[in-house]
Amino acid sequence: MAIFNYYPQTLSPDWPGGYWLHWGVFVVIILVFVMAMIMGFIWFERRGLGRFQVRLGPNRAGPFGLLQPVADAIKVLIKEDIIPAKGDKLVHWLAPVVAFVPALMIFAVVPFHDGALLADLNIGILYVVAVSSVGVVGIFMAGWGSNNKYSLIGAMRAVAQMVSYEIPLALSIIGVVLIAGSLSMNSIVEAQSIPFILLQPLGFIIYFLAACAEINRTPFDLLEAESEIVAGFHIEYSGMKFAMFYLVEYCEVLAISAIITTLFLGGWRGPLLPPFLWFLIKVFGVFFLIFWVRSTIPRLRIDQVMAFAWKCLLPLALINLVITGIEVIALPPALLWTVMFLNLAIVVLLALLWSKFFRLGGGRVEV
Amino acid sequence: MLANYGYIGLFLIVAIFFAVSTLLLPVFLRFIGIVPHKPNPVKNSTYECGMETVGKSWVQFNFRYYFYALLFIALDILVVFLYPWAVNLRQIGSFGFISILIFISIIVVGYIYAWRKKVLEWK
C-alpha cells in the first residue's frame, strides 16, 4: 500500500512554487493535457464509431490507426486556405480564434488533483458557465462572416439553441452548489464524500443533455446538419481554420466531460489509484457516454430541440431546484441514503410523467 | 484572490497567442511554398451545392428567435440571483428559501403565460 501513499494528498495553493512557476507549469500542463486528450478522443471516436457502425474505422496509419490524428493534422496544415470573395474577411478570420479561446479558458479552473489547478477561483463554476457561453459568438461570427445562407441558418440555430439550453444547464448546476455550499471547483470536489450523481440524479441528466445540446453534439447538432444545411457554420472554411473548428468541438467535449466529472462524479477522488489517473478515467468514461449517445440517437428537428429545452428540461430543472432546496434545509445530513433513494424515485416518477403528458411533435412541421 | 484572476488574464493571453499562431502557421508555410495559394473566381464564390447564389444572405431574421431571446433574459436573471442564494442557503435557512420560492413563482407565472400564448411553439 505504500506506493499509493507516495502521491501527496493535498497540494499547497501555489504548488509547485512561486507565482510565475505555478502559472508556467499549469499553462504547459493544460495545453499538453488538452492537445493529447483531443488527439486521443478523435482517434477513439473514429475507431469506436466505426465499430458501432459495423465497419473497421481508420486502421492504416500506425498500429490500430493510432497515428490517424497526426496524419489529419499534417493534411489540414498543408491545405489551401479559401476565403469566400463575398465574405467579411476579418470576421471570417477571427471566428476560429473567438470560438477556440473560451473552450480552452474553461480548463483554468478544472482541478486535476487536490489543489492542482491553475486558478482556484471562489466563483469557479460560475466562471465556467460564463466563459463556455462565449464560444457561440465565434460560431455566429463564422456564420455571418462566410456570407453564405447555409452558414447563417446554422449560426442562427446555434444561437437559438444556446439561448434555450443555457437556462436548464445553469439551473441544474445550482442543485450541486446547494449541496456543496460553495462555487469553487476544488471545494465542490472536496464536498463529495459520495459522488453527487447519487444525490442529484435528475440534475445530472439535465446537465448532461443540456451540455450535449450546448456543445452541439450529434442528437442536437442542428447547426451543422449535413442532410439539410450541408455543413452549417463552417461550410466556407478550409485548411487550418476548419481544423480549428474541429478542435473547438473536441475541446468543448473534453471541457464538458471534465466539468461533469468534477461536479457529479467526484473529480479526482477515488481509492487506490493516484488522483490524476482517476480524473482521466472518469473523463474518458463521460466522453464514452457522450459518444455512445451520438452513435445511437438520430438527429432531432429544430422544433423538437427547442421544445425539449423549454417544455421538458426547464420545468424539470426548476422542480429539481426546489426539491434539492427542501432537502438541504429540512433533512439532516445523516439521512444520506434516504435522500438518495428518494431522489431516484423522483427521477423515475418525473420521467414517467413527462413521457406521458409531453410529446415531441412528430410528423411534418411548418418551417 | 486577485492573484488568481491574474492567472486567468495571463492564461487568456496565452490562449489567444496559441490560437492566432496556429492560424498563422499555414500563412508562414505559404511563403515557403508548401501551402498552395491559387485563388480563382469560381473557387472563391459562395458555396451552394453548385448553384449560383440568388440575393443576399445578410438579411433580417425570422421573428421567432426574438421570443426565445426575451424569455432567456427573464430566466437568466433569475439564475444569476439564484447562485449567491444557493451558496448561502444553509446559513439563511427556511426564510431565505421561502422568499426565493416567491421570486421563482413570479417568474414561473410569466413562463406559463408564454407557454399558454404558444410562444414556445416553433412557428
pTM above 0.95, yes or no: no
pLDDT tens column, B13-62: 988 998 899 888 888 888 887 888 888 888 887 777 777 777 777 777 77
Last residue of a domain, one of B25, B59, B93: B59
**Of residues A302 and A248, which shows the higher confidence score?**
A248
Q: What are the grid coordinates assigned to A303, written together?
A: 422544433
> Which residues are CB-contacts of A245 (< 8 A; sequence separation ≥ 6)?
A96, A99, A142, A233, A234, A237
Same domain, B33 and B78: no
* From B30, B68, B86, residue closest to A163, measured CB to CB: B68
pLDDT tens column, A281-317: 999 999 999 989 888 888 888 778 888 888 888 888 9
Could you list the residue range(s) of the whole structural domain that residue B8 is in?
A: 1-59
pLDDT tens column, A190-233: 888 888 888 888 899 999 999 988 888 878 887 777 677 777 78
Phi, psi of A116 (to 5 degrees): -95, 85
In the predicted model, what is the mean pLDDT of chain A? Answer: 83
Same domain, B51 and B5: yes
Same domain, B48 and B64: no
Nearest 5°: the CA angle A63, A67, A68 is: 110
Q: Is the pLDDT of residue A16 over 80?
A: no
Q: How many domains does chain B have?
A: 2
**In angstroms, what separates the C-alpha of B118 from chain A's closest C-alpha?**
11
| Amino acid letter, residue B116 | R
Q: Are B42 and A142 in contact (CB under 8 A)?
A: no
Residues A85, B46: Cα–Cα separation, whole Å:
8
B26 touches chain A (CB under 8 A): yes
- Show residues of chain B in contact with A314, CB under 8 Å: 75, 111
Nearest alpha-carbon partner for A178 in A277, A39, A320: A320
User: Is the Cβ pair B86, A170 closer than 8 Å?
Assistant: no
Secondary structure, 3-state, A104-130: HHHHHHCCCECCECCCCCCCHHHHHHH
Categorize the per-residue pLDDT at A260 as very low, low, confident or very high, splitting at 50, 70 and 90.
very high
Interface size A-B, in CB pairs within 8 Å, comes to: 189
Instruction: Give alpha helix (H) positions in A181-301.
Output: 185-190, 196-199, 201-214, 226-229, 239-264, 275-296
Same domain, B47 and B7: yes
- Can you give the pLDDT at residue A1? 33
Same domain, B17 and B55: yes
- Can you give the pLDDT at residue A61? 82
- Show residues of chain A in contact with B27, CB under 8 Å: 81
Last residue of a domain, one of B59, B89, B108: B59
Going by the DSSP 8-state scheme, the letter that residue A66 receives in this structure is T
In the predicted model, what is the mean pLDDT of chain B? Answer: 83
User: Is the Cβ pair B86, A329 closer than 8 Å?
Assistant: no
Average pLDDT for A183-194: 84
User: Is the Cβ pair A326, B61 closer than 8 Å?
Assistant: no
Average pLDDT for A152-159: 84
- Can you give the pLDDT at residue B102? 92
Same domain, B41 and B77: no
Same domain, B53 and B2: yes
Residues B8, B20: Cα–Cα separation, whole Å:
18
> Which residues are CB-contacts of B115 (< 8 A; sequence separation ≥ 6)?
A310, A311
Categorize the per-residue pLDDT at A3 as very low, low, confident or very high, splitting at 50, 70 and 90.
very low
Same domain, B65 and B123: yes
User: Is the Cβ pair B122, A27 closer than 8 Å?
Assistant: no
Q: Are A105 and B8 in contact (CB under 8 A)?
A: yes
- Can you give the pLDDT at residue A310? 86
User: Is the Cβ pair A121, B20 closer than 8 Å?
Assistant: no
Q: What are the grid coordinates assigned to B123, written together?
A: 412557428
Same domain, B70 and B118: yes
Same domain, B84 and B106: yes
For helices A149-180 and A201-214, angle between their N-to-C axes, nearest 10 degrees: 160
Phi, psi of A113 (to 5 degrees): -160, 170
User: Residue A325, Cβ neighbours under 10 Å: how many?
Assistant: 24
- Can you give the pLDDT at residue A13? 52
Last residue of a domain, one of B59, B76, B94: B59
Same domain, B52 and B74: no
ipTM of the complex: 0.86
B94 touches chain A (CB under 8 A): yes
pLDDT tens column, A54-99: 898 888 887 888 888 888 888 888 888 888 888 788 888 888 999 8
| Percentage of residues in chain A having pLDDT higher than 90 | 7
- Can you give the pLDDT at residue A2? 38
User: Residue A248, Cβ neighbours under 10 Å: how many?
Assistant: 26
- Show residues of chain B in contact with A23, CB under 8 Å: 7, 10-11
> Which residues are CB-contacts of A213 (< 8 A; sequence separation ≥ 6)?
A161, A164, A165, A219, A220, A305, A309
- Lowest-confidence pick of A189-193, A255-259, B81-85: A189-193
Same domain, B29 and B50: yes
Nearest alpha-carbon partner for A171 in A351, A323, A17, A12: A323
